[in-house]
Amino acid sequence: MTTATARSKPAATTRADQRPVEIRVRKMGKDYAQTPSYWFDNDPFLSLFFTAFSATLPVGEKQFIHSVRLFQERISDPVLREEIRAFIGQEAHHAKEHDSFNRLMAERGLSTDRIEQRMARMFEWIREHASPEQQLANTVCAEHFTAMMADYMLSKSPELMEKMDPAMRNLWAWHAIEEAEHKAVAFDVYRQEVNDVWRLRRTMVFISLSIAGHVTFDALQLMREAGELRNVKSWRKGLKQLFGRGGMFPAMAREYLDFYRRDFHPWQHDNRQSLARARAKYLGETTSSATLH
Ligand SMILES: [Fe+2]
Ligand SMILES: [Fe+2]
């Protein structure tokens, strides 16, 4: 595993307290040929739900990078500039890794490629019609979702990872760790260059509805293709895991609502300890990365 360190010492800026972790770029380059299609707890719904999510990531991550690059040259803070470079490096590797997995699933007859093409058309339209400020706001909101999901997997429900096929566990753990590390980068760029709270709130409402719509549609599509549409047992189990008591979405509720607060910052949700534990467990990184300033 190759690593490049974006920042190895505390930042000498006034916002140093809001950048409490090192952001590292790591390559995975794993082979998923042996990964079963039902890689999550041997369950169709859970596996296909997260496979559908994976299908949106390569083009999604590229759009995140694009939106931050629109502002990159305006940033003079050397720490934030370094963090943007690390953010871009991490997201580029995520896109590549999920692409390897998605291609394999497409070869097995799941339409991860169609999901990706649909997302690509949507982002093409956004690039043509939305302002740079709006594109960055979209990214900030989507990054809050990835940060909440990462925190759920790493902190709130780490036993969930144990139910995954080992290669997929490594993939999602690595991705979740890096999403947690860079969760404030797009936000800090937005705050410095746009700083329009109401735009962010409006965008969050829209992005939430959009994600819910896409995820429902994509999960239904993959379940139909896999011949599992009428697998009531799997739907029940999966929906309980996502929406039931202690499920992923209810567990995110507080953090989600916090986003609408005027003084919100991603590092107010301080998950440095579970992040450090996850880095040791999944990446074998024993050096303290969750350093307090
Ligand atoms: Fe990512
Ligand atoms: Fe991200």
Mean pLDDT over 275-293 rounds to 76
Q: Is residue 293 part of a domain?
A: no
**What is the number of structural domains in the chain?**
1
Residue 265, classed as helix, strand or coil, is coil
Q: Is residue 288 part of a domain?
A: no
- Measure the N-to-C terminal CA separation of the chain; round to a whole number of Å: 27
Residue 96, classed as helix, strand or coil, is helix
Closest CA to 187 of 121, 269, 116, 109: 269
Cα(231) to ligand 1 centroid in Å equals 31
Look up the domain containing 144 and give its range. 38-283
Cα separation, 89 vs 6, whole angstroms: 10
Q: Is residue 102 part of a domain?
A: yes
Mean pLDDT over 112-139 rounds to 97
Cα separation, 67 vs 69, whole angstroms: 5
Cα(128) to ligand 1 centroid in Å equals 23
Q: Is residue 136 part of a domain?
A: yes
Cα(83) to ligand 1 centroid in Å equals 14
Cα(24) to ligand 2 centroid in Å equals 13
pLDDT at 19: 63
Could you give the percent of the chain with pLDDT greater than 70? 91
Cα separation, 134 vs 219, whole angstroms: 28
Q: Are strands 24-26 and 3-5 parallel, antiparallel or unpaired?
A: antiparallel
Q: How is 97-119 classified by DSSP, letter by letter? A: HHHHHHHHHHHTT-THHHHHHHH
Q: Is residue 22 part of a domain?
A: no
Q: Would you say residue 259 has pLDDT above 50?
A: yes
- Which ligand minimizes its atom distance to the CA of 183? 2
Cα(224) to ligand 1 centroid in Å equals 27
pLDDT at 20: 74
Q: Would you say residue 13 has pLDDT above 80?
A: no
Cα(49) to ligand 2 centroid in Å equals 19
pLDDT at 5: 39
CB proximity list for 181: less than 8 A, separation 6 or greater: 21, 22, 23, 24, 90, 275, 289
More confident residue, 289 or 203: 203
Q: Is residue 20 part of a domain?
A: no
- Which ligand minimizes its atom distance to the CA of 148? 2
- Burial class for 142, CB neighbours closer than 10 Å (0-12, 13-18, 19+): buried
pLDDT at 7: 38
Cα(139) to ligand 2 centroid in Å equals 8
Average predicted confidence (pLDDT) for the chain:
91
Q: Would you say residue 288 has pLDDT above 70?
A: no
Handedness of CA 242, 39, 93, 156 (dihedral sign): positive
**Is 28:282 a contact under the CB 8 Å cutoff?**
no
Cα(255) to ligand 2 centroid in Å equals 17
Q: Is residue 13 part of a domain?
A: no
Helix, strand, coil shares, percent, the chain, to 5:
70, 5, 30
Cα(203) to ligand 1 centroid in Å equals 20
210-230 confidence digits (pLDDT tens): 999 999 999 999 999 999 999
| Burial track 34-60 (b if 16+ CB lie within 10 A, e otherwise) | ebebbbbbebbbbbbbbbbbbbbbbbb
Cα separation, 156 vs 117, whole angstroms: 33
Q: Is residue 254 part of a domain?
A: yes
71, two tokens: 């502002």
| H or E stretch covering 179 | helix 166-181
| Burial track 146-163 (b if 16+ CB lie within 10 A, e otherwise) | bbbbbbbbbbbebebbee
Number of Cβ atoms within 10 Å of the Cβ of 180: 28
Instruction: State pTM to two decimals.
Output: 0.91
